[in-house]
Structure 1
């Protein structure tokens, strides 16, 4: 009995693109399932979230491999996995209180003793909105799109007409400027 030859990743991708048969995606997914799971668990630090995100990757594959030419599947799937984890973390960050707010004793002491987490978060958001108006418009726009609308760098670039490097720069500088203003109060 001879073993069935292993079809290279790029050929499986091409067969999927031509036939739209998910069995090819399934085979690719199974090859890298362990790696995807480990990356998700490393970033999300929660078994259930990691499993959910791992399954979301399969769905992403069925859509994205039709649209994108992928030369190095392993590197590409690792990047897609990390980005999906970051996106999930950004979404969950909206549900938690910013740790910096809790560390900021001055702002915390200004709150009434019985203030709820929602009130604290609301106060923090009001302050952030004020500071967003004080920083340069491009930085403010990128921060709002990235954090409030959960847009990717590419989506921000497409929407604003900025290059990816400009988007990254505005996000980095905007976060720094926002942090400086938050620390002053």
Structure 2
């Protein structure tokens, strides 16, 4: 019985010749993060991507028996990408929703207020952001606006990783409280 120290090729062979789902699970487990990353890239939704990861495993149960696979990593990447593209192309994702008349633009109900409300929301967000302590403000801006990781923030500011995490969490909570209080 193959173990976690078996090569990809060995696990593929065991699955193809013996139908050993444990071998396939061990193999897939090695690349699950890769598959999730591909799904997240294409589907842009964490929950949908998690579901896709499970669906792709079910596809592999059938497909791996039918295909000669020399490089499992690149093959599973392609399977994941194709799965996501097919998912996006399917009409199952297109849903029609009836909108209330109050939300539909007409001569009596122009949608100029929406843009004004959004601008007001951004002004309030900036005001609340400036109200944060300087180190919280810096960490929140770097994380959310500059899209830096905790490690990147830690490296560029010289702050401990846990301090950065704490600043971002507390800053986010303080921002939310300020926004709720002022809206």
TM-score, normalised with respect to structure 2: 0.48
- In our comparison, the structure showing a higher alpha carbon Rg is 2
